Amino acid sequence: MTVPILKQGPFLIATIQAALTDTDVLRLQEDVMQQVTRHRSRGIVVDVTALDVMDSFVSRSLRGIAMMTRLRGASTVIVGIQPEVAFAMVQLGMSFEDVQTALDLEEGLALLQARREPGDGAG
């Protein structure tokens, strides 16, 4: 199950479309890094609306994407975490404290756009 990654202006959008195996998740990490590098993207939205489970491996890997892309000067926003999934993540002990999240794709893109505005030099 490959995750399609689309370029939209200075940003990338990765839309997960079905349950991912661990192998798929690792591939997604690599693919995102490759595309970020190729397009010199400034921001990435990862849309997880289709995920009905985010276990510790997936959560950790998505946080990993946020960290890796930051090392290349790009921000990652995770969008579309389903309410039951968010509930389960918190019970599990995964808090995503250090990861940017937004309600949906639109809000995620707005967040990235806001980051690009002049006067904000933050990472």
Partner 1 sequence: MPAEGATVIAIESDSDVVTARQRARELAAELELSSTDQTLLATAISEVARNITTYARRGEVSVSIVEDGRGRRGIRVVATDRGPGIEDIDRAMQDGYTTGGGLGLGLPGARRLVDEFAVDSEPGQGTTVTLVKWSRT
Q: Tell me the backbone φ, ψ of residue 7, rounded to 5 degrees.
A: -95, 130
From partner 1, its own copies, none, interface partner of 72 (C-beta below 5 to 8 A by class): its own copies
Which are the contacts of 38, defined by CB distance < 8 A and separation ≥ 6? none
- Please count the other Cβ atoms lying within 10 Å of the Cβ belonging to residue 69: 23
Q: Cα separation of 98 and 67, whole Å?
A: 9
Q: Choose among 9, 86, 17, 23: nearest CA to 48.
A: 17
31 is an interface residue for partner 1 by CB under 8 A: no
Q: Cα separation of 120 and 122, whole Å?
A: 6
From partner 1, its own copies, none, interface partner of 100 (C-beta below 5 to 8 A by class): its own copies
Give the one residue of 10, 27, 50, 68 binding its own copies; rule: CB under 8 A.
68
Tokens 């918190």 — which residue? 90
Shortest reach from residue 17's CB to its own copies, in Å: 20
From partner 1, its own copies, none, interface partner of 19 (C-beta below 5 to 8 A by class): partner 1
The residues of the shown chain that bind partner 1, judged by CB under 8 A, are: 19-23, 30, 33, 52-57, 60, 82-85, 87-89, 91-94
Interacting residue ranges for its own copies, rule: CB under 8 A: 29-30, 33-34, 36-37, 40, 64, 67-74, 81, 83-87, 89-91, 95-98, 100-103, 107, 111, 114-115, 119-123
